[in-house]
Amino acid sequence: MIDAQPSSPCGASMPRSASSRELTVRGLILGALITVVFTASNTYLGLKIGLTFASSIPAAVISMAVLRMLGGGSILENNMVQSQASAAGTISTVFAVFPALILVGHWARFPFIETAGLTAIGGMTGVLFTIPLRRALVTESSLPYPEGVAAAEILKVGQEAVEAGGNHRGLMALLSGAGLAAILSFATGGLRLLADGASLTLTLGSGIFRLSTGFSPALLGAGYLVGISGGLAMLTGYALSWLIAVPWLTAITPNPHHLEASAFATSIWLHDVRFIGAGAIALAAFWTLGELALPVIRGVREALSTTTLRSDTDRDLSPRTILLTGSVLALAFMGMLAVFLWPFTTSVLSAALFGTLFLFVFGFLTAAACGYMAGLVGSSSSPISGIVLIATVMVCSLMLLMEHLGALPAAFAANDHHLAIAFAIVILSGIVASASISNDNLQDLKTGQLVGASPWKQEAVLLLGCGVGALVVPIVLNLLYQAYGFAGALPRPGMDPTHALAAPQPAIVTMIASGIFRQNLDWTMLAIGAGIGIALIVVDRLLRRRNLALPPLAVGIGLYLPPAVSTTLAVGALLRWFLDRRRKTAHHGADDGTMIASGLVVGESLMGVALAAISGLSGADDLLALGTGAAWWNSAAAMLGFLALCLWFVRHVLRAPAS
């Protein structure tokens, strides 16, 4: 049985009823099922565009509707379901690291035990790291926690609607969006009757430009959820990339292989412009962390020094449970690292010990930083991509230092540091899982505080959510890789590289790790990107004086992503801006627009996973194809379908009753 530690009630919360059901078997089963859906969806979306969507609000809406159909369902039970599903949907962030092992040629597939084990261990450590921070950063803090507060309001309103005999409008909106997205995605990726985008390559002198757009329902929904600031920032990144950097570089760079204009521009973007984007991302991330350094340190100090006696109405997992669970996780992580190294060297102790210490020391500091940032600006705005870059630089630099000191076996330097690069990526998988969960869990604990939940039960459910989500991750990764491949790594000859998933973060991790160990980073392009990052920070500061914003990190991501991704995300963001203006207010809760947008993401993502499963079972990625998707009429039909979807979206939201 899990131990609980008493604590005192602080902060406003709903009164608890003695008969309120909270941690139930049906809630755990429902949470696990939602977990599977959102983990698969976020993994697909992350590999496609490098972004994920927040799953707390859709999970809460689904939970309220399903539990009401099953009979009853208290606000506390619904909160437990959304907490579990939220943790698992967040742990899919390991998509940012594991594919790098494919890109460097170390893995040819994602082994189930290693992938699931590393994901679960990393995620669970993230849960443990946030427990001692809860009182200072949640209960006794004035941090706004935008997503956590929004989820609590939705749970309260939903409970009132259930008690008043309300309908399931939010769930129906989500299912409608998911259904339409699945149909369009099946016509595009399965039947190949619709194109997934359109582009036009232009030349002006020696410079080459590209105008691109996509027709992805998931990108439309993701852009809506990102909002106008993030969407316009991504569009700015596209403009800097394909309307300025690529034309400039193609004009001054020789073309010795006489590539056609489109291929030459793509080559310049891949090998030069993406480094500029990486430099801008890194600089923006360092700036954000630097701004928050003092508040984070202050918050951690308060968390660790608090001695307030706590009551039975506000419990955390006990120190004994935390210590025991943490010890088991540390031994398990060390064991996973040793097993990873064993086929290449028997000298595994020093490297495995280093990896484990790095996870627990840097992981805790990252948990504090991410938790504070999530509370301040929201989980969606917290720069996890920057944390990934910083962790990559730190772990690779420390390993290089250990190598110079003779603390690592010779096998690490063999084959141009191949094993060292792969081992660094494995350590990063634990860091990324821990950071992403820390980023999300304090939002969930804030929701729980506001609805009167038991923190220790939430923390236990969050641990369970990490375990369930980890079981899904390797299955989805294998399906997606075998069906689509990643940009720069295709599992079989003859596959269409235009359908490969971009996997932007794994590509950056591969680039940085390989460059540090092999000392061949393109520092010129990285420095240009850092300079652009500084300019973007100045512009953002000036805009904020007028209540506007241009997030530098989002601009950097727009520089790095494929052009059709950034432009389609911007369309979704503009759709959100238009609807908010028509409704005279911005909606941040479970309005129809948010639910439809979430449905669009879920529908396309699940269809993509389903098509990947068909491809994996059949061995062919065009089994259902009735066309090629490359003709002009495929693009015309896709554009009409995309415009029709946008029109339906607008009409549905504007006709919905005010919430």
For residue 6, is it within any domain?
no
Q: Are 37 and 342 in contact (CB under 8 A)?
A: no
Domain containing residue 303: 20-189+199-308+325-655
Residue type, 646: C
For residue 78, is it within any domain?
yes
Question: Which residues partner with 212 through β-bridges?
Answer: 199
For residue 353, is it within any domain?
yes
Domain count of the chain?
1
What end-to-end distance do the CA atoms of the chain give, in Å? 42
| CA 392 and chain centroid, separation | 17
* Residue 602, burial from CB neighbour count under 10 angstroms (0-12, 13-18, 19+): buried
At a CB cut-off of 8 Å and minimum separation 6, what does 463 contact? 124, 127, 325
Tokens of 110: 């994602």
- Chain position carrying tokens 């049985």: 1
- For the chain (659 residues), the mean pLDDT of every run of 10, in chain order, is 40 48 82 81 77 70 79 80 76 88 93 94 90 74 68 71 60 84 88 86 89 88 83 91 94 88 87 84 74 60 53 69 92 95 90 93 77 62 67 90 89 91 94 84 82 84 85 89 86 80 85 88 86 93 88 82 85 92 63 82 78 69 71 86 95 75
Q: Are 451 and 13 in contact (CB under 8 A)?
A: yes
At a CB cut-off of 8 Å and minimum separation 6, what does 212 contact? 197, 198, 199, 200, 238, 242, 562, 563, 564, 567
Q: Are 459 and 151 in contact (CB under 8 A)?
A: no
- Chain position carrying tokens 């929904």: 221
**Cα separation, 102 vs 452, whole angstroms:** 45
Question: Which residues partner with 489 through β-bridges?
Answer: 486
**Cα separation, 555 vs 393, whole angstroms:** 21
Query: What H or E segment, with its residue span, contains residue 219?
Result: helix 217-226
For residue 292, is it within any domain?
yes
**Cα separation, 594 vs 579, whole angstroms:** 11
**Cα separation, 239 vs 250, whole angstroms:** 15
For residue 320, is it within any domain?
no
Q: What is the pLDDT of residue 380?
A: 55
Q: What is the pLDDT of residue 310?
A: 54
**Cα separation, 411 vs 417, whole angstroms:** 8
Nearest to 440, CA basis, from 132, 118, 92: 92
Which DSSP string do the residues of 346-415 spell out, in sequence order?
S--HHHHHHHHHHHHHHHHHHHHHHHHHHHHH-GGGS-HHHHHHHHHHHHHHHHHHHHHTT-S-GGGTHH
Q: Are 151 and 57 in contact (CB under 8 A)?
A: yes
Question: Which residues partner with 317 through β-bridges?
Answer: 4
Phi, psi for 410 (deg, rounded to 5): -65, -25
For residue 174, is it within any domain?
yes
Q: What is the pLDDT of residue 363?
A: 81
Q: Are 101 and 478 in contact (CB under 8 A)?
A: no
Angle 632-655/169-185 helices, nearest 10 degrees? 180
Q: What is the pLDDT of residue 17?
A: 45
**Cα separation, 74 vs 68, whole angstroms:** 9
- Residue 263: count of CB within 10 angstroms of its CB: 13
**Cα separation, 120 vs 112, whole angstroms:** 12
- Residue 490: count of CB within 10 angstroms of its CB: 17
Q: What is the pLDDT of residue 302?
A: 54
Nearest to 565, CA basis, from 213, 130, 151, 97: 213
Per the document, the length of the chain is 659
Helix (H, G, I), strand (E, B) or coil at 54: coil
**Alpha-carbon distances of 243 from 75, 197, 202, 231, 307, rounded to whole Å:** 51, 18, 10, 17, 57
Nearest to 45, CA basis, from 512, 598, 650, 620: 598
Kindly tell me the sign of the dihedral angle through the C-alpha atoms of 453, 456, 458, 461: negative
Q: Are 23 and 463 in contact (CB under 8 A)?
A: no
**Cα separation, 34 vs 38, whole angstroms:** 6
For residue 88, is it within any domain?
yes
**Cα separation, 123 vs 94, whole angstroms:** 10
Residue type, 374: A
For residue 109, is it within any domain?
yes
Q: What is the pLDDT of residue 54?
A: 65
Q: What is the pLDDT of residue 19?
A: 43
